[in-house]
Structure 1
Amino acid sequence: MKLYSLVLALLCSTFLLAQNKKPESVTVSGKIIEEGSNIPLEYATVSFTDAQGKVANGGITDTKGMYSLKVPPGVYTVKYEFISYETKEVPNKQLTKDTTLPTVALALDTESLDEVVIRAETTEVQVRLDKKIYNIGKDLTTSGATVSDALNNVPSVNVDVEGAISLRGNENVRILINGKPSAIAGFGSTDALRQLPAEAIERVEVITSPSARYDAEGTAGILNIILKKEKTLGLNGSITANIGVPTSSGISGNINLRTDNFNIFNTTSVRYRDAPGNAFFDNQYFPTTFTDPETGEEITTDPTFDRVIEDRDYDRLNRGFNTNLGIEYFLTDRSSITASGFLRLGDDEDLTTNNARKFSDGTLQETTIREELETEEDVSYQLSLNYVNDFNDEGHKLTADFQYENDEEEERSFITERRLLPSALDFPSEDILNKETQNEYLIQADYVLPIGENAQFEAGYRGNFENEVTDYTLNQENVNGVFVRNDTLSNIFDYSENVNAVYTQYGNKFGKFSFLLGLRLENTQLKGEIQSSLDEDAFSEALGVDIDTNFDKNYLGLFPTVNLIYELAERENITLGYNRRINRPRGWFINPFPSRSSVTNVFQGNPDLDPAYASAFDLGYLKRWDKLTLTSSIYYQHETDSFERIQEQTGQVINGVNVVRTIPINLSTNERYGFEAGILYNPLKWLRLNGSFNYFTFKSDGSFNGVEYGTENNSWFARASAKVSLPWKIDWQTNGFYRGPRNNAQTESEGILSINLAFSKDIMDDNGTIGLNVSDLLNSRKRNSLTVTDSFISESEFQWRQRSVNLSFTYRFNQKKQRQRSDRGGNGDDEGGDFEG
């Protein structure tokens, strides 16, 4: 019995000791937000200091302001810090078990605003599972410039001499404004971005591996431009005026009024800009043999002139007005509704003068001058409604959007051409009227549900319904000087693109490993109707291609996405992404009616174009040091039915010159792989450097009309920027960009060098800033190319806009320069919020 009692006592003692034994560590979690706005603070630091003053552990918050750290059990002083915010300390916090601490709100430290200057004016990069975010800061070279100019300073992005935007050398980029397709960015065109002031940009998201929440359009990826919307209470804003040479002037302003119940915001700008440009073409033509499709007979065309040299001058006068007005009303502490309207007015006048010299066997036979005066009136507006409900602080969220857009464009071109040698002669003139009406509806809903501490589920729907009607009328002068309608080319083209999509995705984090898996189902309807006085056979014969005047195509596709990230260390990670994308042909790629900007060089759409599909892989690496940030990635893309613009002779001869047509076709495959790296380096308080390099190789394979258009080529581009803070509050910035030579199956293009220079000085107690910048300092931003085919050779040089100098002045009220900081909140502008485990 005594032995039994002894054993029982021993077991009880062991059990009690086990119960009283302290765990080796406990998990402490919580959230840090900004006082007043409740915006989560990313990269805020948390530290735990024991009674001896030793730091037991510390870490940083994620995109949602959340932290989770392990510390030995004990009593600690918990310290919360973030640059430019007041530090908070919670003393004598006893932590003996897993604990979730109350949410901490940090207030701005008005006495240390100087620290924020460096942060606000330095380009930063943040890496997510599905994108890189560039807070472009205060880029001096874009003062008084446009959004299109600012994009050219973002790594991985290139804006060519004609304004076409490419990502890693691929022009099939989807442009979003605040996470949605928008009239602000233009309907399938980037022209509108040349009217929006660069000062309106908050940040640019480069999404090379889009998650399932994004539209599958854009085989290169997505550029999401986030516009500024101040979150500081009270009335604040700024106004910027600029004047430049060649003649340009503009004024833009933004104002924001925020109270506890609502937020009213407006950005308005007026622009007047003269954009002179020039081009040179040296075309050599050879006799060409065609086979008649009906008789099988071979027909040889021998042009009267075997060489034509053209000198073109472009005088573009652009006048524009933009305004964006919105109000955000806070229904509760966690829900809000935002209504906004956007209006853009354009009144442009372009004069193109083409001096041509025509040769035969090396002898000048004829000189002509051709003038095209084009006027364009553009009215675009957009109405949108957004609802956001944050059910809790953990990210449980519902957003719903409705958007309507309308664009009315009326272009009128009057073309005259006269011969100067060997004798004066006026050719028949042309009067062209082109009316375009575009309507687009967007309906979208996204639901985000956190599961546990690290997991997140998301689902949503998007419906995008777009219709574009082009009414094209060509009147030609007859021998009596009377303008008569050309029924062959006059037409109405009605084109619709309807996309319905549903998606779901799930993300989670296990230790240092995070993943985001998604699947998107999209149905695309491409529908077109051509109204012409010609029947289908006569119509196809007149245009030189077999087309269906009425088509209705449907495409159903699944688009999986996989995004992985592994944290090698606190400031070091690697990412891996896979996604499948679609490239839908835009209206002007489908419209079969040839453009008339040149009699002998025309662009003609192809109604038989099908969407292209691409699968892409991206392996990235990020490393942060105290003063240096390195980003890099290796990528690969395989595209089927890819678009390629090819040139061929039509068999027509006008004024003794063979007509060359450019037409888009579906090639069989296109492979692209490359490497890119970017560096942000701030070695000294007064010196900030950044640069990027991108090298890529692409290979295409395919044929059209019996001609092989396969090719393999590599190219690269690099950019560098240096910003120096001089005495007397003067900043000096230099940006350089170089795009290496490149070629496709028919055309070789030389490299392009461009350098921008800028100075700025703060005045009026830092409320005002004077800026001076020179765009294309060396006047070298020109595209030189050589096109070689069996029937012609074309050598050309093109300069969209000559070197320009711009002087600007910015005045801020209740909006100190130092207060310009990135938006760390999820305000419905990134399609359902971020996931980072």
Structure 2
Amino acid sequence: MRQTLRIFLSLCLLFTSLINFAKSIDPIKDKVKISGTVIEKATKQPLEYATVTITDTKNPKMITGGITNAKGGFTIEVAPGIYNIKIEFISFKSIEFNQRSLEKNIDLGVIALSEDAAQLNEVVVRAEKSTVEIKLDKKVYNVGQDMIVKGGTVSDVLENVPSVTVDVEGNVSLRGNENVRIFIDGRPSNSLNMADALRQIPADAIDKVEVITNPSARYDAEGGAGILNIVLKKGKNQGFNGSFIVSTGIPETYGLSANLNYKTEKLNFFTSTGYDYRTSEGRGLTHSTLLDTNKDISGYTNEDKNTERLRKGISTKTGVEWTITPNTFWTNAISYRDNSGTNEDHVQFLSYDQNREYLSTRYRKGVGNDIGKDLELTSNFIKNFNDKGHKWTADISYTTNKDADNSLITNYFVENINDKTYDYTTNNQKQYQFQAQTDYVLPFENGSQFEAGYKGNFNNLRNPYDVFVDGTFVNGVFDNGVRKDSLSNTLEYRERINAVYSQYGSKINKFSYLLGLRWEDTHIEVNSLEEPSIDYNTKKYSYFFPSAFLTYELSDESSLSLSYSKRLTRPRGRFLNPATNYSSNINLFRGNPDLNPSLTDKFDVGYLKKWDKVTFSTSMFFENTNDVFSFVRTETGEYVGNNPVVLSKPINLAKEQQFGFEFTLNYTPFKKWKINSSFNFSNVKTSGEYKYTILENNQSVDKIQDLNNEAFSWFSRLNSRLTLPAKIDWQLTGMYFGPKNTAQGKSLGNYVINMAFSKDILKDKATLALNVSDLFNSRKMINETNLTSVMSYSEFQWRRRQINLSFTYRLNMKKTDKDKNMPKNNGDGGGEGGGDFPG
């Protein structure tokens, strides 16, 4: 702790020196600043995105202008002179300050806008923010307007987010890199199986997703690819209001959710609660050619798999925000999820000899049940010292997670159906996590800003996994099974992370910069409780993580940015768990508890250009990673019949270098048509080798795999939203994932098309939406793998085409209310928030 304190004080001293230096070189002396705060007169709530226009008194052409931030504030610089100033917001009466002489800095104070009742009665107001907001340091995807994801899950939401891809197994990648950190309301999620966790949160509970490809020092250093922050909905308006959503779908799906809040002058009670019942069907196949030691064909095996999954459960986030004083807020909330489900896998193995003559058919049926319960308690305290951004925040959270999975596996040959064997697996997980964080933000008169903070993350997880084979199944009871110790294990994971950070940013004319430094001390213990003699090498390490962001405004409509950060990727979840996935007994997966963290240096050059109807953002990036994680497939030396058992596991490679570029384009041809598109291309070079030992003829044989590889990959996304006659909204989304070479084969390209329609009814108080996910049933993972003893072609489809119909009813709430009234605090859910990027 003393070492942490010394480092923290050193950081403060360093950035205090930077502050004094920046003040001494500030050259802004020939312009004056106009500032103020825009609020809604009736509710006293700040109006974000209100427009401020400054024009010459003799020429109506705009000189400059801007928009208000989340607190309703604005600051605009202009040369001394006499101007007209206009403040306006759609559906509100504008306010003008004419013939104002500006010779020195001026604060217009609080400007209250009143709703224009006549305008509200004449037109349907759609003051919607863009589906995708492009900013230089991040992209913000607003979920509330997306018909495609109605009735879906968070995984469906992420499929539509720029720079993000989700494979058919639910694994999330950012710019083609899976080392991405998932936050929920600003707090990192440490679920053992993130793909399953994201499928358990309904899309209707999500407000927006923030994509941060190159995070600053205020954020956790973990996540080599970057951070995705999933922000849940919260009530924000005065009085009692909210929305109800009912949905149904094919395959059989039902959902019911409510987002409600009741707000008084001092208290705001809010809840987002829902019930979800969801079925999905999937399929897969692996067709293998078997090779002997002379590389001659010895046989063929066709493995075909069909899956049926059922998920049901309730989830809620309920809390209260207390306005202690006009500038002090305390929010407490409880989140709870109770999910259960069943999984049923039907696998058929057809075996052939080297001449493709039929030999046998073997069936494997797995029936599993799982129960998951999550509880989270959070508390957030905010003290605003003034309305300029000077504030102190403190957050604490406590989370428990319990999951229980049991599966009965039946094996038999069709030629001898009465001779069945039974296997049984149990997988139980308990996880406890405590987090504490505090942040301090100090802005200065010249537009500079200093931040500092601390964060502690303490996580305990215990995961026993058992595999029993060759048992009996009588009257619904499994018995007499033999525990297979080579596949069973009890994992214990303990994590202690302490971090301090400090950063300083400023704006000088058109140039902005943000410099930061973070220090994290990590202590991780990974143990096998059943094999205490096994040493998994407890990890203890401390690193500094610098970050730097430079921005230059080429004009009012275009900007150029350069950024650097150092990132860390810690192995988690299935990467670490040594338990063996036993859904297939010839294609196994096992985690590696001895994985080391990987370190990444990230460089990014970005360009942003805005026109009247177009916003264009592009970036070129380079990432250099040491000890990168990579999956390898190896023969174990064991056989099931004449089929070799192949094991997949993650390992540390020597190095990976990724170079790429991406662009995002938002285009509005006319008011009723919006188009968002993105394209990502990357080249990845990996280097390293893998040494392993297998049994051949009852003898241990050492082997080496050369994993050097260079791969090109790309994906593109196009989203079009059009208002048809009769005010029907139509949305179409298409994605294509290009082919990619791997060290042991290649992944083939695939595409997916989603479509949706929506219509406002009941005087715009309700909305009907119909969407089809994977319209052409084409979303598959297709791979070709070449190993020493087997060549295989595989396809896997997690979920087949899904059709959903949803009905949304808004109670005392116009369609635009959620965007118009923002919370008094900086309200995106605590966690990783200091101040904003200067300028």
Q: Give the alignment's TM-score, normalised by structure 1.
A: 0.90
Asked if 1:573 corresponds to 2:567, the answer is no
User: Gaps spanning 5+ residues in structure 2: where?
Assistant: 1-28, 474-478, 692-703
SS of the residue 2:582 aligns to:
coil
Task: From the superposition, tell whether residues 678 and 489 of structure 1 become closer, same or farther in structure 2 (CA, over 3 Å).
Answer: closer
Kept after mapping to 2: 8 A contact 1:37/1:232: no
Kept after mapping to 2: 8 A contact 1:357/1:366: yes
Q: Which residue of 1 aligns with 2:373?
A: 379
Q: 1:422-464: per-residue Cα shift (whole Å, max 9, x none)? A: x446353112211100111111001100122310000001111
**Counterparts of 1:745-760 in structure 2 under 5 Å?**
745-760=743-758
More divergent stretch after superposition (590-599 vs 774-783): 590-599
Task: From the superposition, tell whether residues 626 and 237 of structure 1 become closer, same or farther in structure 2 (CA, over 3 Å).
Answer: same
| Amino acid paired to 1:599 | N
Q: 1:514-564: per-residue Cα shift (whole Å, max 9, x none)? A: 0111011011122022122x674xxxxxxxxxxx34532101111111111
Task: From the superposition, tell whether residues 518 and 831 of structure 1 become closer, same or farther in structure 2 (CA, over 3 Å).
Answer: same
Task: From the superposition, tell whether residues 511 and 814 of structure 1 become closer, same or farther in structure 2 (CA, over 3 Å).
Answer: same
Shift of 1:187: 4.9
Counterpart Cα distance in 1 of 2:62 and 2:680:
43
Q: 2:515 aligns with which of 514, 517, 534?
A: 517
**Counterparts of 1:724-803 in structure 2 under 5 Å?**
724-803=722-801
Kept after mapping to 2: 8 A contact 1:45/1:82: no
Q: Which residue of 1 aligns with 2:7?
A: none
More divergent stretch after superposition (758-767 vs 590-599): 590-599
| Identity within the alignment, % | 40
Q: 2:77 aligns with which of 69, 72, 94?
A: 69
Q: Which residue of 2 aligns with 1:639?
A: 625
Asked if 1:218 corresponds to 2:204, the answer is no
Task: From the superposition, tell whether residues 288 and 103 of structure 1 become closer, same or farther in structure 2 (CA, over 3 Å).
Answer: farther
Q: Which residue of 2 aligns with 1:14?
A: none
Q: 1:138 aligns with which of 134, 137, 145?
A: 145
Q: Which residue of 2 aligns with 1:311?
A: 304
Q: 2:66 aligns with which of 39, 44, 60?
A: 60
Counterpart Cα distance in 2 of 1:111 and 1:213:
46
Counterpart Cα distance in 1 of 2:593 and 2:236:
47
Asked if 1:198 corresponds to 2:203, the answer is yes
Q: Which residue of 2 aligns with 1:807?
A: 805
Shift of 1:137: 4.8
Task: From the superposition, tell whether residues 579 and 85 of structure 1 become closer, same or farther in structure 2 (CA, over 3 Å).
Answer: farther
Shift of 1:510: 0.3
Alignment RMSD = 2.4
**Counterparts of 1:176-191 in structure 2 under 5 Å?**
176-182=183-189, 186-187=191-192, 189-191=194-196
Shift of 1:479: 8.8
Task: From the superposition, tell whether residues 596 and 383 of structure 1 become closer, same or farther in structure 2 (CA, over 3 Å).
Answer: same
Kept after mapping to 1: 8 A contact 2:423/2:471: no
Counterpart Cα distance in 2 of 1:342 and 1:144:
20
Counterpart Cα distance in 1 of 2:643 and 2:442:
65
Shift of 1:117: 4.8
Kept after mapping to 2: 8 A contact 1:26/1:73: no
Q: 1:228-275: per-residue Cα shift (whole Å, max 9, x none)? A: 223221111111111111111111110011111011111111111110
| Amino acid paired to 1:197 | P
Shift of 1:569: 1.1
Q: Which residue of 1 aligns with 2:407?
A: 413
Kept after mapping to 2: 8 A contact 1:122/1:136: no
Kept after mapping to 1: 8 A contact 2:364/2:410: yes
Q: Which residue of 1 aligns with 2:15?
A: none
**Counterparts of 1:335-354 in structure 2 under 5 Å?**
335-354=328-347
Q: Which residue of 2 aligns with 1:325?
A: 318
Task: From the superposition, tell whether residues 365 and 110 of structure 1 become closer, same or farther in structure 2 (CA, over 3 Å).
Answer: farther
Q: Which residue of 2 aligns with 1:297?
A: none
Kept after mapping to 1: 8 A contact 2:769/2:805: yes
Shift of 1:62: 5.9
**Counterparts of 1:192-591 in structure 2 under 5 Å?**
192-287=197-292, 306-361=299-354, 362-421=356-415, 423-424=416-417, 426-477=419-470, 482-532=480-530, 536=533, 548-591=534-577
Counterpart Cα distance in 2 of 1:614 and 1:815:
46
Counterpart Cα distance in 1 of 2:472 and 2:366:
20
| Amino acid paired to 1:692 | S
| Amino acid paired to 2:631 | R
More divergent stretch after superposition (822-831 vs 776-785): 822-831
Shift of 1:43: 5.9
Kept after mapping to 2: 8 A contact 1:124/1:136: no
**Counterparts of 1:818-833 in structure 2 under 5 Å?**
818-821=816-819, 826-827=826-827, 829=829, 830-833=832-835
Kept after mapping to 2: 8 A contact 1:47/1:80: no
Counterpart Cα distance in 2 of 1:93 and 1:780:
62
Shift of 1:171: 1.0
Task: From the superposition, tell whether residues 607 and 195 of structure 1 become closer, same or farther in structure 2 (CA, over 3 Å).
Answer: closer
Q: 1:598 aligns with which of 552, 569, 584?
A: 584
User: Gaps spanning 5+ residues in structure 1: where?
Assistant: 1-23, 290-299, 537-547
Kept after mapping to 2: 8 A contact 1:196/1:269: no
Kept after mapping to 1: 8 A contact 2:245/2:809: yes
SS of the residue 1:120 aligns to:
coil
Counterpart Cα distance in 2 of 1:169 and 1:822:
35
More divergent stretch after superposition (204-213 vs 820-829): 820-829
Kept after mapping to 2: 8 A contact 1:475/1:486: yes
Kept after mapping to 1: 8 A contact 2:132/2:139: no
Shift of 1:691: 1.0
More divergent stretch after superposition (452-461 vs 467-476): 467-476
Kept after mapping to 2: 8 A contact 1:84/1:116: no
Q: Which residue of 2 aligns with 1:80?
A: 87
Counterpart Cα distance in 2 of 1:479 and 1:814:
60
Task: From the superposition, tell whether residues 746 and 550 of structure 1 become closer, same or farther in structure 2 (CA, over 3 Å).
Answer: closer
Shift of 1:772: 1.0
Kept after mapping to 2: 8 A contact 1:448/1:832: yes
Q: 1:154 aligns with which of 158, 161, 167?
A: 161
Shift of 1:828: 5.3
Kept after mapping to 2: 8 A contact 1:463/1:499: yes
Shift of 1:174: 0.7
Shift of 1:761: 1.1
Q: Which residue of 2 aligns with 1:623?
A: 609
SS of the residue 1:170 aligns to:
coil
Task: From the superposition, tell whether residues 278 and 447 of structure 1 become closer, same or farther in structure 2 (CA, over 3 Å).
Answer: same
Q: Which residue of 2 aligns with 1:652?
A: 638
More divergent stretch after superposition (508-517 vs 79-88): 79-88
SS of the residue 2:218 aligns to:
coil
Q: Which residue of 1 aligns with 2:181?
A: 174
Counterpart Cα distance in 1 of 2:451 and 2:510:
22
Asked if 1:120 corresponds to 2:128, the answer is yes
| Amino acid paired to 1:391 | F
Shift of 1:684: 1.3
Counterpart Cα distance in 1 of 2:30 and 2:429:
68
Counterpart Cα distance in 2 of 1:700 and 1:256:
51
Task: From the superposition, tell whether residues 288 and 528 of structure 1 become closer, same or farther in structure 2 (CA, over 3 Å).
Answer: farther
| Amino acid paired to 1:831 | G
Counterpart Cα distance in 2 of 1:461 and 1:821:
32
Counterpart Cα distance in 2 of 1:251 and 1:433:
32
Q: Give the alignment's TM-score, normalised by structure 2.
A: 0.89
